[in-house]
């Protein structure tokens, strides 16, 4: 039981680190968009990356939520 619990915690920490990296990238997009030149393609590229990162962050948060639930279930048994 402890091994499974530790494995779940390790997976959750790994996902949390990945989310942190995505959030840093997310912040850089916001900072760069305010300083970008007025080209027609820059806003579209920024929106594409923004959407992609948003989706990736949401998916990773969903996985963390599942791992958290499984960790609680493991602890209760």
Q: What is the reported pLDDT for 35?
A: 59
pLDDT score for 23: 93
- Report pLDDT for 24: 94
Instruction: State which H helix or E strand residue 27 sits in.
Output: helix 2-35
**Domain carrying residue 45:** 2-74
Per run of 10 residues, the mean pLDDT along the chain (length 77 residues) is 84 95 88 60 70 94 93 83
Q: Give pLDDT, residue 56.
A: 95
Counting the structural domains of the chain, the total is 1
Res 37: pLDDT: 54
Describe the chain by its helix, strand, coil percentages, rounded to 5: 90, 0, 10
């Amino acid at each position: 039981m402890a091994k499974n619990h530790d494995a779940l915690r390790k997976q959750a920490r790994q996902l949390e680190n990945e989310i942190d990296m995505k959030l840093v990238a997310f912040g850089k997009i916001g900072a760069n968009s305010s300083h970008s030149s007025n080209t027609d393609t820059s806003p579209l590229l920024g929106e594409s990356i923004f959407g992609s990162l948003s989706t990736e962050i949401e998916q990773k948060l969903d996985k963390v939520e599942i791992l958290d639930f499984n960790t609680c279930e493991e602890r209760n048994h």
